[in-house]
Amino acid sequence: MKKNMFGVAFTLSAISYVLTHFLHLLLNASFLLHFLSISGLSALLFALMYLEKREMFLPLFLILFAMTISFFDDEISLAFVFWDGAATMRALISVLLVIPIVGWVLKQENYVRDTIILLKNQLKNSKILYFVIVWLTQLISFFLNFGALAVVYQIIQSFFSKQNSEAWQRFKSTAVLRGFSFSTIWVISIPSFAYSVETMDASLTQALVQGFTVAITGSIIAILFLHRFEKKHQFSFSKDIRSAISEAVRDTSENENVHRNPIEFLFLFVSLLALTLFVNSLVDVGLLTVIPVVVVVWAVAYFILKRKPKKFLQEGKTYVQKGIAPRAREISLLFAAGLFITSLTSSGLSEMLMNGLYKWTETIPGMNFLWVLPLIVLLFGFFGLGPLTVMVLIAGIVKSIHLPYPPELIVLAMTLGSSLSILISPLVIPVLFLSSVNGSSPVQNSVKQNWKFAIVLYFVVELYIQLRIL
């Protein structure tokens, strides 16, 4: 009973926090910043009360670290760290709470299943199917963030439910996880990517094109790994694929949606991307502010055009009642990270540490900071900190040391670290989420199946980065 009460209190505080953030953007009234800090600290407190004990460890650790730094630094007060730190993450938390609205659109039709059925003749080769799964995961991550892992895996499982050998489990899980890891390098609705672009003042178009190219390259590498696996184990997935898809097609009646839904799905993806790029180029308010506004307008337009306004209100009611409280872990981490960042930046400790690391890398022949930056993000991942939390922790610090590299390359180095973290850390949320869906252990889903692939991806992307800065 108490847990439900804390969940409701957290939900109300989080909604108040987001609404206050947008009111402040509109009115620019200073008193709203005070209300923002109050609602933020309330949301953090109720989130910690709502969470299980093991889920409280990371946010409490960051809060304790922030308090320790302020205790040993006479120039910053503990009250300042909490008051200012509570408002630090307002744009990012707003994105995190608004982005799920995109998923409401995807639930309205069988977009993904109908797309696979439409492409049935092209998907009878294992390498083509693997490539499609990798990219389908990235497209759906536009709508559902790491929820794309479950959606795509369950759809693939529905087609290949009889194929449960170890090789097939590897096929399904690596395709989905690698696809999602690529999304952190270029998908604009992934908060960690959006945050890194805004913080580094990078060109969104250049970052998108660059990340998209890396995702294509990574997909080709993944196909080469699949080919090597089939050759080494003298195993071919193609025969099973043809049989399973034929059976699925027989069980599905042909109707107009099989053709209409794939076209509509593509249009939805392109319209969301294009609208975000257009608004971002038109107004200078930052990508993290643009994304939630575009998402709300885009989703409302969809439900109006579909003549389903009541459905939109119903989805909103369900989300408020059941969808916000489960995000307490992520949001408490962001609030705690905000306190930690405030203490680090106010004390000057962060700049000193990063400057020291930067100068050290520059003294080693053939080495520079962009070799190390992805590994720093990866290291945090092994402590259970996901890409978004890590990006929040280091992006502002990296910006403060004024690296002599194009901001787009710095963004790529950081998001490469995010991708590597998802691939081989068994403690980050996407891996844990996939494990809850496919029943394999987090270690099996991550490091055991992807460590070689992650190493190759790291060196290929770093080769591009190093050639660009020559």
Q: Phi and psi for 404 in degrees, rounded to 5?
A: -85, 45
pLDDT at residue 317 greater than cutoff 80: yes
Place of tokens 């590994």: 375
Where residue 258 falls among pLDDT bands split at 50, 70, 90? low
Return the pLDDT at 255: 53
| Mean residue pLDDT across the chain | 86
pLDDT in tens, 87-136: 988 888 888 888 888 888 878 887 777 777 777 667 778 898 899 999 98
Return the pLDDT at 327: 85
Report domain extents, the chain. 2-98+326-468, 101-191+206-324
Identify which of 228, 219, 229 has the alpha carbon closest to the alpha carbon of residue 457. Answer: 219
Whole-number Å distance between alpha carbons of 110 and 106: 8
pLDDT at residue 257 greater than cutoff 70: no
Helices (H), 120-165: 126-144, 147-159
pLDDT at residue 403 greater than cutoff 60: yes
Return the pLDDT at 252: 58
pTM of this prediction exceeds 0.75: yes
Return the pLDDT at 434: 83
On the CB side of 298, CA atoms within 13 Å amount to 29
pLDDT at residue 256 greater than cutoff 70: no
Per-residue b or e along 450-466, where b marks 16 or more CB atoms closer than 10 Å to that residue's CB: beebbeebbeebbeebe
Whole-number Å distance between alpha carbons of 133 and 116: 10
Return the pLDDT at 21: 93
Determine contact, residues 23/98, Cβ cutoff 8 Å.
Answer: no
CA angle 157, 158, 159 (to 5 degrees): 90
- Measured CA distances, 127 to 118, 241, 383 (Å): 18, 11, 34
pLDDT in tens, 146-197: 778 877 887 787 777 777 788 888 999 999 999 999 999 999 888 889 889 9
pLDDT in tens, 331-383: 888 898 888 888 877 887 777 877 788 888 878 887 889 999 999 999 888 87
Number of other CB atoms surrounding residue 184 within 10 Å: 31
